[in-house]
Amino acid sequence: MKTMEWRDGGLVLIDQTRLPLEITYVNCRTAGEVADAIKTMKVRGAPAIGAAAAYGLAMGGLKCESPDKESFLRHIREVSHMLGSTRPTAVNLFWALGRMMGVAENYGPGEVANLKELLLQEAHKILSEDIEMNKNIGKFGEQLIPSGAKILTHCNAGALATAGYGTALGVIRAAHDSGKAIEVFADETRPLLQGARLTAWELMQDNIPVTLITDNMAGYLMSRGLIDLAVVGADRITGNGDVANKIGTYSVAVLCKEHNIPFYVAAPASTIDMNLSSGDEIVIEEREAVEVTTVFGQEVAPRGVKVLNPAFDVTPNRLITAIITDRGIVRPPYKDNLSKLFSS
C-alpha cells in the first residue's frame, strides 16, 4: 500500500476518508484537485500533505502554458498560495511549498520547460526523502522502547500520514522489527477516528499487536499499569519544543505526567518550525461542526447543537520526555537542543 504515487502525469492518493471500509484511490490531475484532497482529508498527516502539495505545485507548473518565466512564476506563486490555504496547522505543508518555490525562484536563465521538470523532480525528492527520514526516526526511536513495552499512540502518524513507514508508527515498526514483543494501544481519536480507522488498520496489516480503545480509556489503562510509554506524531514543533498535534494529544501528555509515563514525540526536521518561538503562535485549524455531530454520516447529536471542533492542540514542552527526529533524539532544554539540530 502506498499513500501516494505519481502515475501518468497525475497524483494517485489512497482515499483515507474511505478506509478501512474501502480501499479506493483518487487520481488528482490538477493542483486544484490536490488542494481539495488535502482540505477534505483524503490525504492527511503532516508529511503526507507536504508531499502532496509539492506534487500539486509541480502539476500547476506542468499545466501552465506560458513560455515566459515571469508569468510562469506569477502563476505558480498563485498555485502555491491556493495549496497553502488548505490547512493551517501542519508546517510541513508550508515547508514543502517553500522548498518548491525556492527551486522556481532561484532558477536562472533557461527554458520554462526545464524548470517544470526540475519542479517535478523536487516533488519526487520530497517524497523519497520523507521515507528515509522516517526510517531514521525509527532507528533512533527504537532505542527508547523496552522489550515487552505497552505503547499508547494517538491519531495516525503512520505510513498513511507520511510518504511511508511513519513517524510514531515508524518507531513502533522499528521496535517490532527488532524483535521486541511490543503491544500498541491505539486511541480511536474522535472526531474523525484516525486511530480506529487508520492506525489499527495499518498495524494489523503488518501483524503488529494492537488494541483499540476509545479516547476516554487511556487514563484508566495508565492507572492500572497497562501503559509503559506514549509516542505520537506532530504537526508543528516550535523552537521551544511545544508540539501541535491531533486534538487530544495534550490530554494524553497530561495523563502521562500524572502517571510518570514517558511521553515521546516523533517527527522529521521538516515538522520543526524554528520561526515560531512558542506553541501560542501556532494557528489551530477549526473544522466543521458536522465532524462532531456525525459519525460516518450518522447523526449522533441533536440538530442545531453548538459545537467546537479544533483539529489540533498544543502540548507544552514541559510534558514531553524527548522528541525523536531523523537527526537524533532531542531532550530538554529544547530551545538549545532543537537549534543545535539546525546548526550542525
- Which residues bind to ligand MRU, rule: CB under 6 A? 44-47, 90, 155, 157, 161-162, 167, 194, 233-235, 245-246, 311
Shortest CB 24 distance to ligand MRU, Å: 18
d(CA 42, CA 309): 18
> Which of 116, 287 has the CB closer to ligand MRU?
287
Residue 208 to residues 24, 99, 184, 204: CA-CA distances in angstroms?
Answer: 23, 35, 8, 6
> Which of 46, 320 has the CB closer to ligand MRU?
46
Selected catalytic residue, list 130, 235, 242, 313: 235
Shortest CB 49 distance to ligand MRU, Å: 7
Shortest CB 55 distance to ligand MRU, Å: 17
Contact criterion met (CB below 8 Å) for 330 and 341:
yes
Shortest CB 252 distance to ligand MRU, Å: 11
φ/ψ (deg, to 5) at 86: -80, -55
Angle at 34 between CA 29 and CA 35, to 5 degrees: 140
Assess whether 313 carries a catalytic annotation: no
β-pair partners for 186: 153, 212
> Which of 145, 243 has the CB closer to ligand MRU?
243
Residue nearest to ligand MRU (CB): 233
* Structure-block grid coordinates of residue 277: 518561538
d(CA 172, CA 178): 10
> Which of 26, 90 has the CB closer to ligand MRU?
90
Shortest CB 272 distance to ligand MRU, Å: 13
> Which of 122, 130 has the CB closer to ligand MRU?
130
d(CA 193, CA 80): 29
β-pair partners for 244: 236, 314
> Which of 104, 157 has the CB closer to ligand MRU?
157
d(CA 30, CA 200): 32
Nearest Cα neighbor of 234 from 148, 144, 326, 309 is: 326
Q: What percent of the residues of the chain are helix, what percent strand, and what percent coil, each to the nearest 5? A: 45, 15, 35
Shortest CB 288 distance to ligand MRU, Å: 13
Q: Which residues are catalytic?
A: 235
